[in-house]
A = this chain, B = another copy of it.
Amino acid sequence: MPRKLAYRNLPQLFLKAREELLCHFRPIITHFGLTEQQWRILRTLSEMEQLEPREICDHCHILSPSLTGVLSRMEEMGLVTRSRVPEDQRRVIVRLTPKSEKLVGELGPLIVAQYKIIEQAFGPELIKQLYEVMDKVIAAERGPISRIALPPKKDWSAIEA
């Protein structure tokens, strides 16, 4: 007896909508030999001058273990530099290189141009609505939302039938 849940899968809708947007930018980014995450970092660094890894994690929504690898590869490619903070040997400062600044200088305008095209196609009101709704969702703090009680844990992977 197949039964639909009362609510549509909202996170999945986000996924789909995001992909619908991203597919218009991905060709531009890959054209320059970058991944989506690498571009997020380059763009953020070009706006913030210098950042520490955990700040990049926050701004770019990349988890710390992933970032380690991403930064290593970007360092190899000569896109960023990593230097320790003298007064706190745990911390690291990440900066753009002249090369990556030039890259952002070329890539950025193309991204903006694509945004304009999308704005035309979607209509400026939809874009505005998008930003509004997103900001509302993000503004809803994670804390105050209560969590349902979970039943005792069963090891389903071990249950026979």
| Chain A residues close to B by CB (< 8 Å) | 2-25, 27-28, 31-33, 36, 40, 43, 46-49, 60-61, 77-78, 97-99, 103, 106, 108, 110-115, 117-118, 121-122, 126-127, 129-131, 133-138, 140, 142, 144-148, 150-151, 153-157, 159-161
Contact = CB atoms under 8 A, between A and B. Distances in A.
Contact of A97 (B6, B153, B161): B161
Given A21-B10, A138-B17, A138-B20, A99 B133 contact: no
A114 B81 CA distance: 44
A108 B150 contact: no
A31 B7 CA distance: 20
Report the copy number of this chain in the oligomer: 2
Nearest to A154: B32
Contacts of A114: 147-148
B24 A60 contact: no
Nearest to A108: B5
Contacts of A49: 2
Nearest to A25: B11
Given A13-B134, A43-B5, A137-B21, A33 B156 contact: yes
A151 B110 CA distance: 9
B148 A113 contact: yes
